[in-house]
Amino acid sequence: MELTNRADLDAAGDSWPPLPLAEWQPTYHNLHMWTQMVGKVRLALTDLTNHWWNVPLYVNARGLTSSAIPYRGLAFEMQFDFCEHKFRIDRSDGAHVEMGLVPCTVAEFYAEFLLLLRSLGIEVSIHSKPVEVADPIPFREDRLYRAYDREAAERLRRILLSCSTVFEHFRAGFVGKNSPVHFFWGSFDLAVTRFSGRRAPERPGADAITREAYSHEVISAGWWPGGNGVDGPAFYCYAAPEPAGLRSSRIRPGAAYYDERLGEFLLMYDRVRTMASPEDYLLEFLQSTYESAAELAGWNRIELERRSAAA
C-alpha cells in the first residue's frame, strides 16, 4: 500500500497517539532500565564527547538505536525494534543476535542482554545500578514488574518519531553550536540543545556529569513521558544558567507555563496532540521559549540564527 497523504497516514496509525503515564508505568519502568543497559555499554566503549554526546541513543524508523559502536576492529549496533518488538544486536561483519521484547523483569532482561553480547564476542563491564532515578535497584535485582505492553511501546515509537521530526526542523534554524536530536537514557527524554558559545559559570558542588553537561550556556528543549510530579507526557524548555526574569516571561502558546519546582517551561503533550496542527503548535512553544531565554541571556542572535531566504 502506498501512503500518499495525511489521511492515509492517519489511517495507518496516529502520529501523535495518547500515552497516559499511569496506564503504562510498569512498561515505562522496564524500558527505562533496558535502555540504560544499552546506554551504559555505549558509554563504556566510546570516547567522551562534549556534554556526554557519546552516550545517548537515537530515534530511527523502528524505535531506538545505539548507532554503530566500534569494538576490536569491527562495530556493532543495538536496536529496540518497537515494530516487530525485538531487541537486536548487529555486528558489522553480518553476525547478529536478537531476543523478543516480551513481558519480563528487568533482572531477566539483563541476564539475557549479557548473554547476547557475549555470544557476539563483546566483553564489556558496566555499572549495574541505574542512574538518575530515585531509589535505584541494581539491574540484576530488579523484579518489580514483569511487564512489556506492545501497544504502549508502539505508541512511544510514533511519539518519538513525530517529536524528532519537529525537533530536527527547529534545530535547522540555528547555525551556532547545536546538539543532535538525541535520546538520553538516564532521564528517558528526547532532547535538542542550543549553545550561546560562552562558557557557563562553575556550579559549586556539581558532580562530574553535571559539570560536563552544563559547562557552557544552553537552552534545551525536549519531550519526556512525565513523572516527578508531572502526571503525563510533556514538552519542556529550560535555560542554564537561567537568566533573571525568565520565569515571568510571557511565552506561547497560552497553555504553556513555568513549573517553579522543576525550573522549566512545560507544555503538556496531550494539549499538543489534540491540536489541528500539532507540529505548528509545538514549534510555537519551542521558538517562543528559546526567544525569551536568548533575549534575556543576551545571546548574539544575529550570529547564531539562520536567516530565512526571504530576509
Hey, where are the domains in the chain? 21-141, 156-304
Task: Give residue 30's pLDDT.
Answer: 98
| Cα gap 126→269, rounded to integer Å | 34
pLDDT value at residue 207: 87
Q: Round to whole Å and give the CA distance between 204 and 169.
A: 36
d(CA 195, CA 197): 5
The angle formed by the CA atoms of residues 294, 298 and 300, to the nearest 5 degrees, is 80
**Looking up cell 548574539, which residue turns up?**
300
Do 33 and 52 meet the contact criterion of CB atoms below 8 Å apart?
A: no
Identify the three-state secondary structure at position 2. coil
- Other beta carbons within 10 Å of 289: 27
pLDDT at 249: 96
Instruction: Report the C-alpha dihedral over residues 151, 221, 235, 133, rounded to 10 degrees.
Output: 70
Q: What pLDDT was estimated at residue 209?
A: 83
pLDDT of residue 13: 57
Would you state the pLDDT for residue 311?
A: 39
Q: Mean pLDDT, 10 residues at a time, over the chain (311 residues)?
A: 38 82 98 98 96 96 98 98 98 98 98 98 96 96 98 98 98 97 98 97 86 94 96 97 97 98 97 98 98 98 81 39
Task: Give the global pTM.
Answer: 0.93
